[in-house]
Amino acid sequence: MTKKLKKPWPTKAVMTQIYDMKLWGGSTFDFYSGTGSHDPKITNPYLQAVRSFLTSHNHNLVVCDLGCGDFNIGNQLVSLTKKYIAIDIVDALIERNKKRYKHNNLEFQCLDISKDALPQADCLILRQVLQHVSNAEIKEIVKQLNRYKYIILTEHLPLGTFTPNKDIISGQGIRLKKNSGVVLTAPPFHLKIKDEKIMDEHVLEANKGRIVTTLFCLH
């Protein structure tokens, strides 16, 4: 039985509990990172856009994937990179991924991305990760982002006008119920970028918002 934690839960503990209790679904899976990582309507256009970007750089980019989850997505991108560093905060998940996925240019690491030093790379992938994280932790992550030339950021955002970056407690939920979503270039994060481009946008059914993937060029 999973131990009940007192709030606010440490992020590592709550993310571990989410997988243990299968709060993102996938009852038949050992680990499951949610429909956003498995629904072809969402994943196929995303993969097409990211594959095109990586191919345009002649498969020569070192990519760091922050919050790689069950690696259903990352596994389909590894071959298009010079090196792929996949990171997650859940120890058991990383150990499982190490056993399941084998590529000469693939490395898994277990890190808390709001506290630990991030690896050097050309391109950073942050796919539906920050939407689950508190503003205080996002601020710590942003402090390290300037070392990367490219960031491919995917966030679940409301439809229409919304107030960015309302705070939440790190966990299963996201900011959508507050009519908010993460916008790194807005206060209180103020990420400095050179250019940005929307790579993919998927509108969900039943007014459940949209999943937007943006390419940031930082320098």
Q: What is the pLDDT of residues 110-151, one digit of tens each?
A: 999 999 999 999 999 999 999 999 999 999 999 999 999 999
- For residue 2, the model assigns a pLDDT of 45
- In a domain, residue 134? The reply is yes
**Banded model confidence at residue 197, pLDDT cuts 50, 70, 90:** very high
Mapped onto helix, strand or coil, the DSSP state of residue 183 is coil
Q: What percent of the chain has pLDDT over 70?
A: 96
- In a domain, residue 37? The reply is yes
- In a domain, residue 2? The reply is no
Domain that includes residue 61, residue range? 11-217
Q: Mean of the pLDDT values across residues 162-180?
A: 95
**Banded model confidence at residue 87, pLDDT cuts 50, 70, 90:** very high
- For residue 5, the model assigns a pLDDT of 45
Tally of domains in the chain: 1
154 closest CA partner among 82, 89, 68: 68
Q: What percent of the chain has pLDDT over 90?
A: 82
Is the pLDDT at 3 greater than 70, yes or no? no
CATH of the domain at 40: 3.40.50.150
- In a domain, residue 106? The reply is yes
**Banded model confidence at residue 27, pLDDT cuts 50, 70, 90:** confident
Residue 10, H or E segment? none
Is the pLDDT at 7 greater than 70, yes or no? no
- In a domain, residue 6? The reply is no
Query: Which range (14-28, 160-174, 198-212) has the least confidence?
Result: 14-28
Is the pLDDT at 168 greater than 50, yes or no? yes
- In a domain, residue 187? The reply is yes
- In a domain, residue 5? The reply is no
> Residues 141-145: contacts with CB within 8 Å, 24+ apart?
141/66, 141/113, 141/114, 142/184, 142/189, 142/190, 142/191, 144/117, 144/118, 145/184, 145/191, 145/218
More confident residue, 32 or 49: 49
- In a domain, residue 64? The reply is yes
